[in-house]
A and B are shown apart, each in its own frame.
Chain A
Amino acid sequence: NAGVTQTPKFRVLKTGQSMTLLCAQDMNHEYMYWYRQDPGMGLRLIHYSVGEGTTAKGEVPDGYNVSRLKKQNFLLGLESAAPSQTSVYFCASSPDGHPSRKLFFGSGTQLSVL
């Protein structure tokens, strides 16, 4: 059972380039999330999805877009990368949005924008 899988694990971009991060989960979870983690700060929610075909903005959505065309996949896109988007990105999923639910995380993507 793979759980939550993120690809790629590392990526270096030049300013203005675009890319897509893929998150896949095999647990049939309804909710999926994208977070970014920066030094000295907690994980911050970028976007989330409460089910196939739905997306919603989190705390720091600017500069990112997402899609959830299939229940098991949640894609995070950067249309024009900026150095401020250098970060570690984590995808997570949960069975539903109940406040007591734990999150299952992917192993992260280290993104550097030069």
Chain B
Amino acid sequence: RKEVEQDPGPFNVPEGATVAFNCTYSNSASQSFFWYRQDCRKEPKLLMSVYSSGNEDGRFTAQLNRASQYISLLIRDSKLSDSATYLCVVNIEEYGNKLVFGAGTILRVKS
């Protein structure tokens, strides 16, 4: 079983739509959680950290469910520029607090 699993998609949505991605992780000792964004053939960049109480950054909302071991990302009012691959990233203490990346979920926003 992969340590971090994501639906690869692609999710094809029209502009203005709301879309949500989930990610599950297997290690209950995981401490920190993140969503990174990766544009085609580019490096990953941090989109947002995910906090236990949930957090919001503009049109983006992240949630953490420790009991069920999943995190989610909600994007409201999707823009064309949101088209990218979204990587779920989890800190796993066994690797000395290094990050483990999911394979990513592809989002395509169309006009």
Contact = CB atoms under 8 A, between A and B. Distances in A.
Q: Which of B43, B96, B99, B101 is most buried by chain A, counting CB atoms within 10 A of its CB? A: B43
Contact of A42 (B95, B97, B104): B104
B34 A102 contact: yes
Q: Which of A44, A90, A105 is most buried by chain B, counting CB atoms within 10 A of its CB? A: A105
Secondary structure at chain A's binding surface: helix, strand, loop or mixed? loop
A41 interface: yes
Interface residues of A, number: 23
B42 A99 contact: no
Interface string B41-55: 111111001000000
Q: Which of B2, B49, B99, B101 is most buried by chain A, counting CB atoms within 10 A of its CB? A: B99
A84 interface: no
Given A48-B98, A102-B34, A42 B4 contact: yes
Contacts of A106: 43
Contact of A58 (B45, B93, B98): B98
Interface string A42-57: 1111001000000010
A102 to B, nearest CB: 4
12 contacts: A42-B4, A42-B101, A45-B98, A59-B95, A97-B96, A98-B97, A99-B31, A100-B91, A102-B46, A102-B49, A105-B43, A107-B42
Interface of B: 2, 4, 8, 31-32, 34, 41-46, 49, 87, 91, 93, 95-104
Interface of A: 33, 35, 40-45, 48, 56, 58-59, 90, 97-100, 102-103, 105-108
